Amino acid sequence: MTRVVAQGTFDILHPGHVHYLRDAAGMGDDLHVIIARSVNVTHKEPPVVPDEQRREMVGALKPVDEAHLGHPEDIFVPIERLEPDVIALGYDQHHDADSLRAALSERGIDCDVRRASPLQRDDDDRLLSTGQIIEKVLAERD
């Protein structure tokens, strides 16, 4: 059985998240998703939705076998525990695949790192990021 781990913030779920998780699930037999804790989100605005609620929402999605909260101090702790065969990065996630491979190797974690495919835009009105959703809500609710 091939275990895949995907990870992300998943603040406000949107079609891009669903595409990423479907793609990641297709990379193996068992998909585990690590939800970033708010305290660890430093590369963008912090999430609006609380940690446990984001974990619950992602866990309810069909492609996901299990959803886990990330470790508050060391992002590699859940990866060491889950022992994945594949880590699936989102198409536009900020992680550098080569740096991640090196960090995994340093910790003795042997797994493949792959990048998910992009979601094809078939409609310019589709909201494909949490930031776009928030901007639209603010613009329309002002």
Name the pTM for this structure.
0.92
What is the rounded CA–CA span in Å between residue 77 and residue 62? Answer: 25
Domains in the chain, CATH or no CATH each: 3-141 (3.40.50.620)
Q: Is residue 8 a contact partner of residue 20, using CB atoms and an 8 Å limit?
A: yes
- pLDDT tens digits along 30-75: 999 999 999 999 888 889 999 999 999 999 999 999 999 999 999 9
Q: How confident is the model at residue 119 (pLDDT cuts 50, 70, 90)?
A: confident
For residue 27, the Cα-to-chain-centroid distance in whole angstroms is 14
Evaluate whether 66 touches 25 at the Cβ level (below 8 Å). Answer: no
Structure tokens at 123: 């409609």
DSSP state letters, 114-141: EEPPPPPPS-TT---SHHHHHHHHHHHH
User: CA 5, CA 115: separation in Å to the nearest integer?
Assistant: 12
Q: What is the pLDDT of residue 77?
A: 96
What confidence tier does 124 reach under pLDDT thresholds 50, 70, 90? low
Cα separation values, 30 from 33, 47, 127, 130, Å: 10, 27, 28, 26
At 67, give phi and psi (nearest 5°): -115, 140
At residue 110, what is the residue type? D
The reported pLDDT for the residue numbered 141 is 85
| Whether pLDDT at 123 is above 70 | no
